[in-house]
Amino acid sequence: MFADSLPPNLNRVGSQFLVMASNGNYQYGYNDGHSIKTETRSAGGVVEGFYKYVDANNELRTVQYTVRDRIPTRLNIGIMLFMSCFVSYMLRVNMSVNLLAMVQPIQKMNQPAVKPMFNGTNANDTSATMPMPTAAAVHNYGPRYNWSSHDQSLILGAYFYGYLVTSLPAGVLAERFGPRNLVGSTLAASALLTALTPLAATYGMWTVVVNRAALGICGGVLYPALHNLVSRWAPPDEKGKFVSALMGGTFGTVVTWPLVGVLIETFGWSFAFYVPAVITAIVVAFWLIIVADSPAKHPRIKKEEQDYIIKSLGDTISKQNLLPPVLKMITSLPFLALLVLHFGNLWGLYFLLTAAPKFMSEVLGFKLAKAGFLAALPYLARALAAFGFGSIGDYLRKKSVFSVTTIRKSFCLFSHIIPGLFLVGLIYAGFDPYVCVAIITLSLGFNGASTMTNLQNSQDLAPNFAGTLYGIINFVGTTSGFISPMLVAHFTADRSTMDEWQYVFAIGAAAYIIPALVFVLFGSAVVQKWNEPKQHESKQTTKQVQETY
């Protein structure tokens, strides 16, 4: 009865076997005539097996099972990637809500019945009523400051300018000194700066500007350093999930806005700084306990998981601290294609998150900011889709369905081309605000596929310098945050109607689609020769770099 599909070493009653490895892996099995069992423990501590037996009705039963002996350490690393981005965005976006409670509310015009002033009436006649300004109801959320709209724009923009200062060198710093301490120290400093914001406000607007700029300097380090960490921890067929974890910032935005609103109304605006700072400090403590720069440096990782990660990465990660070959980077055609692709991604992202609400407000008369769920929906769609696309991409890579280069290029259809077409669709969407929200949500949702294109390609080209590469493309891409609002202002300076916005949407669509076409033509997922500059310079002959799967 057991003869079918038996392992060769169990085809006789009474047979058994046991194989042990030095790393703790094993394989064993037996056949006692009444039941048969085999079990294997492999990389990562995964135990798989099956057993067969004859039940009371003389029917053959087969049971298969898989057991993991513990949570993989790299899963904990992925969770901390998510949480670091989550709290970083909490500190980044809270000011946009907090500032409303920190300043004197803008006066509104009271509009009583107005008598004609120059239609046979003396202009000095006091009975001729003018619209009079009346102060909006002022809630007692804490001290309020007389900061003008220009002052407020400086406060909100200060983070952005500080962010640019460190986004470029952050990758090099992570590669030289390790991402664990770099991220931990900058997040701790960010928590402290946020907690000191109420005190800074008492000294004046410029003190807050300096505080926010310093916060931006700390924030600019985060993503290049995290990309460096991913390059050290993520097996090739799991990189999509690891990069998707960097979408924690999107969830941070969604959670922070309603959270600080409740804190302001309940305890006052100062607590809207204190609470996020405390949450960040807690995350920093877990970060320093859980995270290590690499599997080889982690004190609690299982030997088999460590060996599995190191073996899967092969020789793409150097054990030495290498100086990035900047000249070779900036003259590399695949890297330049990635640079263009990332710029297009950030252009579309900033455009949809800033210009589209302006369009719906001024053209459609729909106040997106007042529809809390609708305002959060595009963010949620992008984050959830990122995990979906990342998982699909990892599956395709694990099964070797396509080459990595083919996966990167084909996913540009979802991350760039389809979102660009949705922007074109906004031109013909009519004047239904909910249709526009749906289009924006779908556009940002499909853009979640960027976890399989521009957000991951730096890991492919040069794992040793993934942080540096991402720092460069993020520095250049962030400039779209300045350019796209200026472009919108240019076309809508005199009028803001559908006629003017057609040009804005067309340019936005082109900024999405053209970079995707450039990447399809010139992009690559092959590890570049300059990933190991010293090694290749010492060789007399060169060999073709093989693409990993």
In CATH, what number is assigned to the domain containing residue 444? 1.20.1250.20
The residue-averaged pLDDT of 84-106 equals 85
pLDDT at 44: 58
- The residues, any chain, with a CB within 8 Å of residue 336's CB and separated by 6 or more, are 330, 522
Note the pLDDT of residue 153.
76
367 three-class SS: coil
What is the mean predicted confidence (pLDDT) over 165-175?
88
For residue 316, give the DSSP letter.
Answer: S
pTM: 0.71
Q: 59 and 84: one domain?
A: no
Q: By three-state DSSP, how is residue 336 classified?
A: helix
Instruction: Please state which of the ranges 131-135, 267-271, 348-352 shows the lowest mean pLDDT.
Output: 131-135
Among 53-67, 143-157, 414-428, 482-496, name the one with the lowest average pLDDT.
482-496
Higher per-residue pLDDT: 110 or 214:
214
**In the predicted structure, residue 122 carries a pLDDT above the cut 90:** no
Q: 493 lies in a domain?
A: yes
- DSSP H helices, 234-302, are 239-245, 248-267, 271-290
Which of the given ranges, 42-56, 190-204, 449-463, 528-542, has the highest pLDDT on average? Answer: 190-204
pLDDT of residue 75: 92
Half-sphere exposure (Cβ direction) of 261: Cα atoms closer than 13 Å:
8
pLDDT at 482 over 90: no
Which of 280, 295, 315 is where one domain is finished?
A: 315
Instruction: Report yes or no on 4 lying in a domain.
Output: no
Copy the structure tokens of residue 428. Answer: 């013909």
Same-domain status, 469 and 419: yes
**Average pLDDT for 466-473:** 88
Q: Is the predicted pLDDT of residue 540 greater than 90, yes or no?
A: no
Distance CA 81, CA 34 (A): 50
Structure token pair of residue 418: 């389809």
Name 17's bridge partners. 29
Say yes or no to pLDDT of 234 above 80: yes
What's the rounded mean pLDDT across residues 425-448?
Answer: 82
Q: In 399-532, which residue ranges form alpha helices assigned H by DSSP?
A: 404-412, 418-427, 433-447, 454-461, 466-478, 480-491, 498-522
Residues 294 and 222 in one domain: yes
Indicate the DSSP class of residue 145: B
Number of domains the chain contains: 3
Domain check: are 429 and 307 in the same one? no
pLDDT for the residue 484:
74
Q: Does one domain contain both 448 and 509?
A: yes
Does the pLDDT of residue 538 top 50, yes or no? Answer: no
* Confidence at residue 76, expressed as pLDDT on a 0 to 100 scale: 94
Query: Which of 264, 297, 315 lies at the terminal end of a domain, its last residue?
Result: 315
CB 269 within 8 A of CB 98: yes
Q: Is the pLDDT score of 187 beyond 50?
A: yes
CB 199 within 8 A of CB 292: no
Q: How sure is the predictor about 36, in pLDDT bands with cuts at 50, 70 and 90?
A: confident
6-44 in b/e form (b: 16+ CB < 10 A) is: beeebeeeebeeeeeeeeebebebbbeeeebbbbebebb
β-sheet with 16-20: strand ranges across: 16-20, 26-31, 35-42, 46-54, 60-68
CATH number at residue 55: 2.20.25
**Choice between 338 and 110, residue whose per-residue pLDDT is larger:** 338
Tell me: do 346 and 250 sit in the same domain. no
**Position 23 confidence tier, pLDDT thresholds 50, 70, 90:** low
Read off the pLDDT of residues 383-410 as tens digits, 9 standing for 90 and up.
Answer: 889 889 988 998 898 888 899 999 999 9
Q: What percent of the chain has pLDDT over 90?
A: 34
Long-range contact list for 493-496, CB < 8 A, 24+ apart?
496/358, 496/359, 496/362, 496/363
- Alpha carbons 461 and 484: distance in angstroms, whole number: 29
State whether 206 and 175 are in the same domain.
yes
pLDDT-derived band at 354, boundaries 50, 70, 90:
low
- Res 121: pLDDT: 38
Residues 295 and 411 placed together within one structural domain of the fold:
no
- Residue of 467 and 13 predicted with greater confidence: 467
At 541, is the pLDDT very low, low, confident or very high (cuts 50, 70, 90)? very low
Higher pLDDT, 181 or 156: 181
305 plus 365 within the same structural domain: no
Residue 138 structure tokens: 């002022």
Task: Assess contact for 393 and 448: CB atoms under 8 A.
Answer: no
> Residue 34: is its pLDDT beyond 80?
no
Question: What pLDDT score does 282 carry?
Answer: 97
pLDDT band of 28, cuts 50, 70, 90: confident
More confident residue, 420 or 44: 420
Q: Which residues of 316-353 are buried (b: 16+ CB within 10 A; e: fewer)?
A: bbbeeebebbeeebeebebbbbbbbbbbbbbbbbbbbb
Q: Is residue 123 part of a domain?
A: no
User: What is the distance between the alpha carbons of residues 307 and 24, in angstroms, rounded to a whole number?
Assistant: 12
* pLDDT for residue 369 is more than 50: no
pLDDT at 116: 38
The answer for 33, left when phi > 0, alpha when psi is -120 to 50, beta otherwise, is: left
Mean pLDDT of the chain: 80
Q: Is residue 202 part of a domain?
A: yes
Are residues 82 and 50 located together in one domain of the fold?
no
User: Residues 335-358: what's their mean pLDDT?
Assistant: 81
* 109 in any annotated domain: no
Nearest CA among 332, 387, 304 for reference residue 69: 304
22 falls in which pLDDT band (50, 70, 90)?
low
Helices (H), 47-178: 73-102, 149-167, 170-177
Task: Tell me, yes or no, whether 124 lies in a domain.
Answer: no
Residues 202 and 174 reside in one and the same domain: yes
Residue 110 lies in a domain: no
Q: What 3-state class would DSSP assign to 29?
A: strand
pLDDT of residue 128: 35
User: Does position 193 have pLDDT exceeding 70, yes or no?
Assistant: yes
Number of helices (H), then strands (E), belonging to the chain: the values are 22, 7
Highest mean pLDDT among 2-6, 456-460, 533-537: 456-460
Same structural domain, 340 and 295: no
Domain that holds residue 29: 15-68
The per-residue pLDDT for range 277-295, each reduced to its tens digit, is: 999 999 999 999 999 999 9
Q: Does residue 392 sit within a domain?
A: yes
Distance CA(427)–CA(430), nearest Å, equals: 7
pLDDT attached to residue 268: 92
Using the 3D structure, point to which of 315, 346, 370 is the last residue of a domain. 315
> How sure is the predictor about 131, in pLDDT bands with cuts at 50, 70 and 90?
very low
Q: Look at residues 492, 513, 343 and name the one whose alpha carbon lies nearest to residue 443.
A: 513
Which one of 261-265, 296-300, 538-542 scores highest in mean pLDDT?
A: 296-300
Average pLDDT over residues 518-541: 75
